[in-house]
A = this chain, B = another copy of it.
């Protein structure tokens, strides 16, 4: 490639999060970077889009660097739509989302704003990768992630990601020499077992906090959860054709 690739960077923790600042630094070494990211944290937003309110999107400078940055009032999926349709002068060669503060393995791909941004780019025909580090702390250390994020991004640019697929990359919170490598995985079969925390307001009204614990029922050694627990970076190829093709024959036997 003569011209440097145009890379769109976004996330769901907000444009000031250390995870996206680390991602921007890595991408500046690989291509021309435009950032369009939410002006506030948007974790757990799934694939929400803003259809009942207006959006704002404004240039911003947060730190020194060659990147161009915009901050947007919407969800991660809104940011990608806005970037592709309004901000960028040409279609980006790649969209990267993250680095998320916290895991997006297994079923969390469904709840994740980080992955919804990547999936939105994929729907619009732009190759895309979501990156997450298994450390939800704001001051998480992203230095170990750098090598893997760069390597996977360079592979995606040279090899291409086929239409209809985006990549979900999770990085274990291990020291550099404890990480054993990269494993291509399938999404583990897991879910969140809710445990709502019921409280009373100072005015006597009941309210709840959603909490719970992740339960992985899947004992397969080819899953993202298994890879991460065993010190590997996991890559799951994710598709947005959600058809359960294997169920079509059975449904055609119903009396409809």
Contact = CB atoms under 8 A, between A and B. Distances in A.
A52 interface: yes
Contacts of A74: 210
Interface stretch (A31-39, A90-98, A106-114, A138-146): A106-114
A14 to B, nearest CB: 11
B86 A107 contact: no
What interface size band does chain A fall in?
Answer: 35 or more
Contacts of A165: 244, 247
Number of copies: 2
A70 to B, nearest CB: 12
Contact of A46 (B77, B109, B162, B195): B77
Nearest to A55: B208
Contact of A242 (B56, B238, B252): B238
A123 interface: yes
B54 A49 contact: no
Contacts of A111: 47-49, 77
User: What is the predominant secondary structure among interface residues of chain A facing chain B?
Assistant: mixed
A47 B252 CA distance: 28
Contacts of A41: 52
Interface of A: 41, 43-52, 54-57, 74, 77-78, 81-82, 84-86, 107, 109-111, 116, 119, 123-125, 151-152, 155, 159, 162, 164-165, 167, 181-182, 184, 186-187, 189, 191-192, 194-196, 198-199, 205-210, 235-245, 247-248, 250-256
24 contacts: A41-B52, A44-B52, A45-B48, A46-B49, A46-B116, A48-B48, A57-B208, A81-B192, A81-B196, A82-B196, A84-B194, A85-B194, A85-B195, A124-B191, A155-B256, A165-B244, A167-B251, A181-B256, A236-B243, A237-B248, A238-B242, A238-B243, A239-B242, A239-B243
